[in-house]
Amino acid sequence: MALKDELGTITCVLDGAAPAYLNDSTEVRGLHGRADAVVVPESAEEVAAVLAWCYEHDVAIVARGGGTGYAGGAVPDGGVVIALERLNRIRSFDPLLWRINVEAGVTTGDVRRLAREHGLMFPPDPGGAEQSQIGGNIATNAGGPHAFKYGVTGKWVTGLEAAVPPGELIAVGGPTRKDVAGYDLRSLLIGSEGTLGVVTAAWLRLVPAPEAAHPIAAFYDGIAAGVRAIHRIYGSGLEVAALEYLDGGTLDAAGASFPVGMPEGAGFLVIAEADGSAAEAARLRDETVAVLRADALSVSAPSTPEEVAELWRWRDGVTFAVTAQLGAKLSEDLAVPLDRLEEAIEGTLEIGRRHGLPACSWGHAGDGNVHSTFLLAADDPDELGRASRAADDLLAMALDLGGTVSGEHGLGLVRSGWLARQWGERAASLHAEIKRVFDPKGLMNPGKKTAV
């Protein structure tokens, strides 16, 4: 029997080539996948059965969430794509116990909304939340602006259900908030980018939503003044929830639609957010405004919920505004120690100049997380080639600065092999050995997140 027919006895197999399931957000880098079949299982048991069939027949398995990834992790090179979108049930929700158990295909946006409707918050807020899935967030250990105070996705996962080779469901952790009984397999699966198992469901922790949240936007004339302001926030001990930045090139692309207008000469923007009880958030906002004001061209703090939402909507749209400049872009997501932030932002521009590419960056300044970006014309192979070489220079710069080649998006395909340079040989070989323990045949998302 043909592969598709055999899989069809286990689960739903999509007809045709299903091109929508073969790319992710790296399509602009020329990454297009191919698959022998795309399946859309309806239950965790079906996922495990597909995995078992693939493992028995030496067929590669690529888990796919919302396809918003920026590392090519969900781009298959043959084999079977397991799309998780139909695993979209809320298995249980206990608002009074601040916890929820969801299947992997529930979108990030839906979890955040459901929590909100009950006075709670699921803090991870990656930008593609309406499309990305909880399983994909867990597989990449995604962050977002508010990771500065609240941490990345993994911090909010108390338990996982996953299908692992050769085709069994395991549960590690659960609704219990503390668990130190074994090796931390849950944390190993978190951020493993589908290379160890397929996440089918997760127990998530929630927190009471802060009563108030006040963003503050401060413009500066350039990188040096802006980074000084970020350091002052740290030094003053103000625990803001988010601490973001946009450099001058990014403002050139997105600044025209900034909700309250940009001051003349603006070359850098810092956005901080103060949250907590109404009184605490107001106090923190006032102190943050005072700290950001030194050297600033202007400081504004939206006051109504509509204005606050407008500011964050604008921030979410920055990536699209930058893409729209020339039609395409190539972004990396380095993270560096905070004392090297200015060098990473300046270095991005210098690497762009060296390769003849317009460059800019923005990102989660408080976490030293820099989205270094080159602007490209769509479908220009020469520019794409230069941008790929420039991207390698960015990764090398991150390591020179004592940072990491990925603060958020993962190694996937595009950064595979860089880990040995970042960690050294022995640590990288332990990474490879862990992979072999879970996946002795090397069929789980092959070619992704490889250490060497």
Ligand X SMILES: Cc1cc2nc3c(=O)[nH]c(=O)nc-3n(C[C@H](O)[C@H](O)[C@H](O)COP(=O)(O)OP(=O)(O)OC[C@H]3O[C@@H](n4cnc5c(N)ncnc54)[C@H](O)[C@@H]3O)c2cc1C
Q: In the complex, which residues of this chain contact ligand X (CB under 6 A)?
A: 24-25, 62-70, 73-74, 84, 104, 126-128, 132-133, 135-137, 139-140, 142-144, 193-194, 198-199, 319, 408-409, 412, 445, 448
Three-class SS of residue 122? coil
Q: How far is the CB of 288 from ligand X (least distance, A)?
A: 22
Q: Where are the beta strands (DSSP E) in 84-184?
A: 90-94, 99-103, 120-121, 157-164, 168-173
Contact (CB, 8 A) for 259 and 310? yes
**Which C-beta is closer to ligand X: that of 101 or that of 300?**
101
**Which C-beta is closer to ligand X: that of 202 or that of 266?**
202
**Which C-beta is closer to ligand X: that of 70 or that of 156?**
70
Instruction: Give the H or E element holding residue 118.
Output: none
Q: How far is the CB of 36 from ligand X (least distance, A)?
A: 16
Q: How far is the CB of 205 from ligand X (least distance, A)?
A: 18
Q: How far is the CB of 361 from ligand X (least distance, A)?
A: 14
Q: How far is the CB of 322 from ligand X (least distance, A)?
A: 11
What does the alpha-carbon distance between residue 316 and residue 127 come to, in Å, rounded to a whole number?
A: 6
Angstrom distances, CA of residue 35 to CA of 8, 75, 178, 238: 15, 9, 40, 50
**Which C-beta is closer to ligand X: that of 141 or that of 422?**
141
Closest residue to ligand X using C-beta atoms: 136
Three-class SS of residue 383? helix
**Which C-beta is closer to ligand X: that of 104 or that of 216?**
104
b/e per residue 307-335 (b: at least 16 CB within 10 A)? ebeebbebbbebbebbbebbebbbbbbbb
What crossing angle do the helices spanning 278-293 and 223-235 adopt, rounded to 10°? 140
Q: How far is the CB of 150 from ligand X (least distance, A)?
A: 13
In the numeric block, which tokens belong to residue 452? 């060497």
**Which C-beta is closer to ligand X: that of 320 or that of 382?**
320
